[in-house]
Structure 1
Amino acid sequence: MATVRSLFAVASIENWYVQQMDVKNVFLHGNNLTEINAAKTFLSSQFHMKDMGLKLPMDSHQKLTAGVGEPLSHPEMYEQLVGKLIYLTITRPDIAYTVHVLSKFMHAPTSVHLQASKRVLGYL
């Protein structure tokens, strides 16, 4: 939010024109790979961008449940990691849902939950 305020402050000082656009359903209808690549190429030519590829903070096909996997012998490590991720959601709302799911297993984490939390680290 501070970045947006800074941008508006500079725009006001420099007398820039500011307009806003809203893109609807951009993620819902992106199943044509050729069009996706064309859009990414165009945006990259106009803005400094980092292509994150198919990496997501959570495997969309994996449903985490209690009791699946080996119980962790030292659950404190998982608890500390998830606690730090919870704090990080203040500045990284893109991981909020995944961290919410991971926090459900703080009382009895397993190797599967730890692996999912490490995936978030890889995403970051």
Structure 2
Amino acid sequence: MLRPPALDPQLDAAVAIYAGSGAVGNVRVEVSLHPTAEAASAQFGPIAEALKNPPPDLFGPGTVQTEGQPVYQAEGARSYVTARPDRDGNLVYTDAYRMGRAVIIVYTLGSDADAVRSVREGVARRLDGRAPR
């Protein structure tokens, strides 16, 4: 797990990247821990909205995300999916959650929607069980 410096010195931040092969290629989890659940709630909306239009260096230039279906209900949940697959047939599924004091973003890369959904649900369930309240 990488521990990048947080933009706000009051936050603790971590990034974990999991790589695999097959129907689900990669999962990236970004966690920002806020001092209170209220602070996390205040940041969740703007962050989730910003993910609708990702910067070009995140998924590549010209990438468009469409509203997706959240696979897990937390205190806050928003999901997006890239509008077109990449040259390998993969879509990027972006899930943003507010779980207690944590704002969590999960990017899942995959070509099989059912396999990706299963991974997304499992990751969210595990994160929610460990998120500080």
Answer yes or no: same fold by TM over 0.5. Answer: no
Structure with the bigger percentage of strand: 2
Query: Is the radius of gyration larger for structure 1 or structure 2?
Result: 1
Q: RCO higher in 1 or 2 (8 Å CA, sep ≥ 6)?
A: 1
TM-score (structure 2 length as normaliser): 0.25
* Structure with greater helix percent: 1
- When normalised by structure 1's length, the TM-score is 0.26
